[in-house]
Amino acid sequence: MLHRPLLTGLAALAAAALGAVAPAAAQQPIKVGAFLSVTGPAAFLGDPEQKTLEMYVEEINAKGGVLGRKLQLVGYDDGGDAEKARTFAKRLIEQDNVDIILGGTTTGTTMAVVPLVEQAGIPFISMAGAVVIVEPVKKWVFKTPHTDRMACERIFADMKERKLAKIGMISGAGGFDKSMRTECLGVAKKFDIEIVADESYGAQDTDMTAQLTKIRNAAGVQAVVNPGFGQGPAIVTKNFRQLGMNIPLYQSHGVASKQFIELAGAAAEGVRLPAAALLVAEILPDNDKQKPVVVAYKKAYEGRFKSEVSTFGGHAYDALMIAVDAIKRAGSADKAKVRDAIEATKGYVGTGGIVNMSAADHMGLDTAAFRMLEVKNGTWALVK
Amino acid sequence: MLSQALQFLFTGVTVGAIYALVALGFTLIYNSSHVINFAQGEFVMIGGMATVFLVGAGVPMPLAVAAAVALSTLVGMALEKFAIEPAGRASVVSLIIITIGASIFLRGLAQLVWDKKLHAMPPFTGDAPIAVAGATILPQSLWVLGATVLLVLALRWFFARTLLGKAMLAVANNRDAAQLVGIGVRRVQLASFALSAALGAAAGILIAPITLTAYDIGTMIGLKGFAAAILGGLGSGPGAIVGGLALGIAEAMGAGYLSSAYKDAIAFVVILLVLFFLPRGILGARGGERV
């Protein structure tokens, strides 16, 4: 029993020595670790993320890999459970010895893993939304999706252009809804927006006319914002029209999918919301820098999986491409060098926007990443 | 101000009518078997989801509605036949737990057979709201109210004029005595599950164009219906209707005048208050056994 650790130690030493003298070891694959919520309540986010990663790792390998080395995807499904995410991240770091970690479908699973990656010193790119992931900046943690604060800023900027200053807010009770509501309240002042009514509804609520009636009767209300996710916004939109309210209604990027229009039906006409370029790939003007990227991704994804593309899969695309780009620039899969290269990402054109990272900004997106959309004739149209 | 109150009232009455139908379902089964059927909400879900999918498959609306009600009725009968009846003389608490299991099973099944997405159902007649004294009401709300009134009248006729209806009343009154005079208690129990499943499905179909439907809507609407049944007095038909309407209106007024954050809490606060101060509900039987 005593010689076992000794042997292992010797083997490791030998391997290290070999690695140092013979660059042949560079033929080993670069290990990309991923933990995603492929099942469970966040499955509609995690599922397209996993499919996207698999598809592009395959494609990159078919084209010869990165720096002459193949990519090897080591993926786990955390089922949306933060505890499991932590366990899997530990396994990725300690047993699988991955070179970089992608994932964290939700803010909860991401934040559970942050202490681990910070301690281990391994670059980590999250696909979850909340601002807390990159604020304050954490040395090894990056993220690809835009934040809810940016969505609020985009909405308020649009309101300012339309000279709408007094607004009502109606928010859901979910995590996304609450977080976005707080962010909106926080940035409203910056845009000279006054919130004259602030209502909420429960996750399973089926009727919001009471709340909307209150907003309608609030003095001077000129527009309504609905930070919401899931079924709530569709019902709010229906009730809004039912009450004959004809002030502008803004929804959030949380419902930026065809399903929202299907659910709300004719009531959705005229609703505005901020969304990523991916959703409106075809109608983007040809001089839009993002157009080739989003059209190509959409085509590849929809062609292979026969289901509609979502922004969530796009976040995974961006995470993988930023990682690959950084590894190329770093010239190796060395963790510290890759981290520095990710931080130095400039002008990367992805599905979520144009990414310019810096030591102070580990997301690198600005509000230009959001397009303001309006529902016209049962489909999305770009505003202006 | 008046128009605002009227708007809350319209909202409350519409939702309340649905709660009333669900509460009636609870009452029917409770009366025939003393079981509180926590799968009641799933009948509402089955009604809405089946209609949406049949219409999606190209079946004309009236036919889809009839088929959905029939499907739900069959599920209700199957629940009685394969889950409640085999349990035999098990205690009422065990039977109630069986219904909770059935509810979880049905929800899971719906997820597999249909899907996990939300669905919208087209309204029966148009989307244009009708303005009344500064408030608005949807045509679908009128459908909900009209159909609820019709269903309640039909139930009254059923209990007053048909043999099966009278048998059900007799069993509700005294199960053992009913059995002694030759009423097939088993058959009555089966009929009560069928009837309450049909009522639930009707509620689910009526409300779906207003609220959307999904595989998991049954839990909350079932609990609200249960609260309404308790409020009205468990076991009382008119009580279920009064309880449903009162709960719907209380919720809408509460969300409007107090805070919308507490909307769902209102139903459960109502249950607690009723259990503390009025344990037999508004129209429940007075006297009798006290525990």
- DSSP code per residue over A363-376: S---GGGEEEEEEE
Above 90 in pLDDT, residue A158?
A: yes
Do A359 and A303 lie in one domain? The reply is yes
Name the residue with tokens 């209106």.
B249
Chain B residues close to A264, C-beta within 8 Å: 120
Q: CB A243 to CB B118 under 8 A?
A: no
Confidence of residue A3 (pLDDT cuts 50, 70, 90): low
Tokens 């009343």 correspond to what residue? B169
Q: What is the mean pLDDT of residues A236-246?
A: 89
Q: Are residues A156 and A275 in the same domain?
A: yes
* pLDDT top residue among B172 and A249: A249
Spatial contact of B242 and B13, defined as CB atoms under 8 Å apart: no
Residues A274 and A203 in one domain: yes
Token readout for B274 is 């009723």
Rounded average pLDDT over A140-146: 93
**One domain, residues A304 and A253:** no
Q: Does domain B2-277 have CATH number 1.10.3470?
A: yes
What secondary structure does DSSP assign to A158-217, as a single string?
HHHHTT--EEEEEE-SSHHHHHHHHHHHHHTGGGT-EEEEEEE--TT----HHHHHHHHT
Q: Is A267 on the interface with B (CB under 8 A)?
A: yes
pLDDT band at A144 (very low <50, low <70, confident <90, very high): very high
Q: Find the mean pLDDT for residues A50-66.
A: 94
User: Cα A328–A334–A340 angle (5° rounding)?
Assistant: 70
Same domain? For A224 and A303 the reply is no
Q: Nearest residue of A to residue B18 by CA position?
A: A206
Residues in chain B: 291
Residue A53: give its domain's CATH number. Answer: 3.40.50.2300
Task: Give residue limits of the domains in chain B.
Answer: 2-277
In a domain, A13, yes or no: no
Distance CA A29, CA A338 (A): 16
Which residue, among A259, A321, A262, has the nearest Cα to A294 in the 3D structure? A321
Looking at chain A, the whole-number percentage of residues with pLDDT higher than 90 is 55
| Residue A158 sits in the same domain as residue A107 | no
Check CB contact of A243 with chain B, cutoff 8 Å. Answer: yes
What is the model's pLDDT at position A169? 93
Establish if A289 belongs to a structural domain: no
Of A343 and A80, the structure prediction assigns the larger pLDDT to: A343
Same domain for A173 and A163: yes
Chain A residue whose CA is closest to B214:
A231
CA A367 – CA A147 distance, rounded (Å)? 9
Q: Are residues A135 and A161 in the same domain?
A: no
Q: What is the pLDDT along chain B (291 residues), one digit of tens a residue?
A: 778 888 889 989 999 999 999 999 999 999 888 889 999 999 999 999 999 999 999 999 999 999 999 999 999 999 999 998 888 778 888 988 999 999 999 999 998 899 877 888 888 887 788 888 778 888 899 999 999 999 999 999 998 899 999 998 888 888 888 888 888 888 898 999 999 999 999 999 999 988 888 888 898 899 999 999 988 888 888 889 999 999 999 988 888 887 777 777 888 888 888 888 877 777 766 544 444
The question of ipTM being above 0.95 is answered as no
pLDDT at B91: 86
- A379 Cα to chain B: minimum distance (Å): 17
Regarding whether A137 and A68 lie in a shared domain, the answer is yes
Nearest CA in chain B to A172: B261
Domain carrying residue A159: 148-281+369-382
- In the DSSP assignment, the letter for residue A106 is S
The number of folded domains in chain A is: 2
Is some CB atom of chain B closer than 8 A to the CB atom of A246? no
